[in-house]
Copies of this chain bind each other. A is one copy, B any other.
Amino acid sequence: MTTSPAENSNVRIAVDAMGGDRAPEAPILGGLRAAEALPDATIVLVGDREVIDTTLNVAPSVPANIEILHASEAIDMAEKPAIAVRKKRDSSIVRAVKLCREGKADAFFSAGNTGACVAATMFGWGRLRGVERPGIAVTLPTLVGDTVLCDAGANVSCKAVHLLHYAVMASSYVRLVKGIPEPRVGLLSIGEEEEKGNDLIKQTLALFQESELSCGAVPIEGQHIFTGEFDVVVCEGFLGNVTLKTAEGLAHTLITMSAQILQEELPEPETLAASQRVVRRLVQRTDYAETGGAPLLGVAGNCIIAHGRSDERAVANGIQVAEKISRKNLNQLILDELAECELPPPEV
Contact = CB atoms under 8 A, between A and B. Distances in A.
Nearest to A276: B265
A257 B285 contact: yes
A282 B265 contact: no
Contacts of A249: 221-227
Contacts of A255: 254
Interface of A, helix, strand, loop or mixed by DSSP = helix
A277 interface: yes
B198 A238 contact: yes
Contact of A281 (B224, B247, B261): B261
B244 A258 contact: no
Given A190-B156, A222-B247, A253 B271 contact: no
A251 B141 CA distance: 12
A64 interface: no
Contacts of A242: 188-190, 221-222, 235, 239, 242-243
A203 interface: no
B246 A225 contact: yes
Interface string A241-269: 11111111111111111100110011000
A200 B271 CA distance: 51
A222 B245 contact: yes
Given A227-B253, A250-B250, A250-B254, 11 more contacts: A143-B257, A156-B190, A189-B238, A190-B237, A222-B247, A223-B252, A225-B250, A246-B246, A257-B285, A266-B275, A271-B271
15 contacts: A143-B257, A153-B190, A190-B242, A222-B249, A223-B248, A223-B252, A225-B249, A225-B250, A226-B252, A227-B249, A227-B253, A238-B239, A261-B277, A266-B274, A266-B275
Shortest 6 CB-CB distances between A and B: which pairs?
A: A223-B249, A222-B245, A222-B246, A226-B253, A190-B241, A265-B274
